[in-house]
Structure 1
Amino acid sequence: MITTTLRRAAVTACVGLASLGLLAPGPARAGTPAHQADPPHAPSLTLPRPTGPYGVGTDTLHLVDAGRTDPWVPESGPRELMVSMYYPTRRGSGTTPARYVTPRESELILRSQGITDVPADILSSVHTYARSGAAPRAGRHTYPLVVLSPGFSFPRTSLTALAEDLASSGYVVATVEHTYESVATTFPDGHVTTCVACEREDLDPRQVVLGRAADVSFALDELVGPHPAWPLSGLIDPSRIGMAGHSIGGASGGTTAARDPRVRAVVNLDGTQFDPLPESGLDVPFLFVGTEDGHSPGGADTTWDRDWRRLTGWKRWITVGGAVHFSFTDYATLADQLGLDLGQTVAGDRAVRITNEYVGAFFDQHLRGRHRPLLDGPSRRYPEVRFRP
């Protein structure tokens, strides 16, 4: 766990080391344990059903960046990444449901938060909707690509509901696991890496952001470059690429877009902007989505105020009433199903739906050119959502 002021501030101000929200978001506050009800038996866990018209297929890629040594464990050699791909399929295509996490990953996720009153492998039973190896939709179709980056210590699976919903609506989605920044990453040979970066006393959040930008740019090279690593790369329209992320994954979006012109639209889900946007401005569509206590205009996180002024293109800043830091991930709904009271007053399924709706509307408008009135201002359907004036 983080012991220095810098590391605690980095985590609780939205780097998000507490992957299930057990550390209260906010600057340099100590963590508080969640209240947990005692369920009569192990619950059946499920993610919200995707809302789009298509089925969802999924593949897993193991990418090796021979040109870059791993920044956290240099002796391990080149930087290696695990990436999950999601894409549109015919409904009913494919027979094997994708596993959410392995039993070992479930154990490590729960152990990292001191959660011992549920079966250690419970997260491996989460029901998902993607099918491994499913055939893509028939015909010649290309889709926008959205890259997702999870929060610090979060596995890439923490954004599965968002990935599946986007894919069901006609996007290819790549969720990137940032090795040694996640509490549990399983590689094809079976070895599992943990969060080495979490133990660093000299952690510099800006360096984490810059490393994530490098990871995403390398993943894009492997997906849309001249020698793609994914057999279905022909599904991707390389002229329509966006990025979204949670916590420090969201904070990495602006940095990535400023350095890599392939990224043309960005969503930051409750992430402190540790690496300032260029003073000269960033002219890409940008959506801030945050909690009311931490990310209201003039609130605890002043980096949004600073970078709001540096965004020179289309932009929106919304907050969600009743949400807490982890409410923009799968853990919003899984916590409810496990009987964990982690402080959110908005229902977990509702929080996931709001996240998916606004992120999907944003990319529809800016990667597909479809005007979405949801982004114009307050909606009666979502009274929890407030727009910055």
Structure 2
Amino acid sequence: MRHRELMISVWYPALAPRRGQRLAPYMERGAAERFDALEPHRIPPGTVDWAGTRTHAYREAPADPRGGRRPVVVYSPGVGDPRSWGTLLAEELSSHGYVVVTVDHTYESPGVQFPDGSVRTNEVLFEEFARAQREGTVPALLEKTLRVRVADARFVVNRLGALPHGLSEVLDTDRVGLAGQSGGRIHRRSEHVRGPENPSRDRPGRHPGVQPGAQRNQPLASCRPRPGPPLPPDGP
């Protein structure tokens, strides 16, 4: 039996990079090729060099221990999106002293590249969704997807203390938050990730797997942008 594997990226305040270290790519080459081929968010293939684009972070840079143990944010992307979609948020939060762990949900993300170069795609997600549409079981599939995401987040949270390169020494595992975009807003089910703490009440709304007014076992939040005026045709 083959175990399901996850890939994560860890963003954190770091010391000065060593000589010869390069900025990390936005995406690995194999994952980028798969992502580009799917025309993500109607971006035509070849428009963006996802693998050639560089972030503002260095690979395996030494963690800065001067801030003591730091709070952790686990980021989950939307369904069908890669973990790199949260790069800007991860860089911003880490610049303010947080450690951010971005998670790819294998077989949901368009392409997850592992250290051996293999890439797991999300064809199975498309197949399951097409079948759910035919059989009228889309809500059940969404609930299953949410359960898998919660299990992924639980696994990552429980393994934070085993991160390599000295990262476990700068994490405060008593201060862990979950954040996400679109389907990645798994913090709505955060009581399944950590033990009961600070009960909170959900606000009314149509949330996957959450009944309006249901008692929650952890704090949760939902942020929606307020629409602004439309931009002129030539840009801002």
Match of 1:315 in 2: none
Q: Secondary structure at the match of 1:210?
A: helix
1:179 aligns with 2:106: yes
- Selected match of 1:321 from 227, 233, 236: 227
Indicate the SS of the match to 1:260: coil
Q: Residue 199 of structure 1 aligns with which residue?
A: 127
Matched, 1:238 2:173: yes
Q: Which is further off, 139-148 or 254-263?
A: 254-263
Q: Give, as a single letter, the amino acid of the residue that structure 2 aligns with 1:247.
A: S
Write out the 4+ residue segments of structure 1 that deviate beyond 4 Å after TM superposition. Answer: 114-118, 262-266, 277-280
Contact conserved, 1:148 with 1:244, CA < 8 A, in 2?
yes
For the structure 1 residues 245 and 345, does the alpha-carbon distance in structure 2 shift closer, same or farther, using more than 3 Å as the test?
farther
1:248 partner amino acid:
G
The one-letter amino acid of 1:236's match is L
Matched, 1:126 2:61: no
Q: How does 1:8-157 map to 2 (within 5 A)?
A: 77-90=2-15, 92-94=16-18, 95-113=21-39, 117=44, 119=46, 122-139=49-66, 141-157=68-84
Deviations 1:10-53 (A, max 9, x none): xxxxxxxxxxxxxxxxxxxxxxxxxxxxxxxxxxxxxxxxxxxx
Q: Structure 1 residues 320, 135: CA separation in 2 closer, same or farther (over 3 Å shift)?
A: same
Report the secondary structure of 1:83's partner residue. strand
Contact 2:11–2:101 (CA under 8 A) maintained in structure 1? yes
Residue identity matched to 1:253: H
- The answer on whether the counterparts of 1:241 and 1:262 sit within 8 Å (CA) in structure 2 is no
Which residue is equivalent to 1:257? Answer: 191
Aligned counterparts of 1:289 and 1:223: Cα–Cα separation in 2: 26
Distance 1:133 1:275 in 2: 38
Alpha-carbon shift at residue 274 of structure 1 (Å): 1.1
Unaligned runs of 5+ in 2: 133-137
Q: 2:65, 2:170 within 8 Å by CA — same for their partners in 1?
A: no
Task: Report the alpha carbon displacement of residue 150 of structure 1 after superposing the two structures with TM.
Answer: 0.4
1:98 Cα shift?
0.7
Calculate percent identity across the aligned residue pairs: 30
Displacement of 1:345 in angstroms is 4.8
- Give the alignment's Cα RMSD to 1 decimal: 3.1
* Cα pair 2:178 2:187 within 8 Å, conserved: yes
CA deviation digits over 1:300-351, x for unaligned, max 9?
Answer: xxxxxxxxxxxxxxxxxxx32149xxxxxxxxxxxxxxxxxxxx859xxx9x
Give TM-score, length-normalised by structure 2.
Answer: 0.79
How many pairs does the alignment contain? 215
C-alpha separation between the residues in 1 aligned to 2:3 and 2:82?
Answer: 20
What are the Cα deviations for residues 208-254 of structure 1, in whole angstroms up to 9, with x where unaligned? 11111111111111113xxx14341111111111010011111x212
Distance (Å, rounded) in 1 between the aligned partners of 2:72 and 2:219: 15
Q: Distance in 1 between matches of 2:173 and 2:43?
A: 45
Relative contact order: is structure 1 or structure 2 higher (C-alpha 8 Å, sep ≥ 6)?
Answer: 2
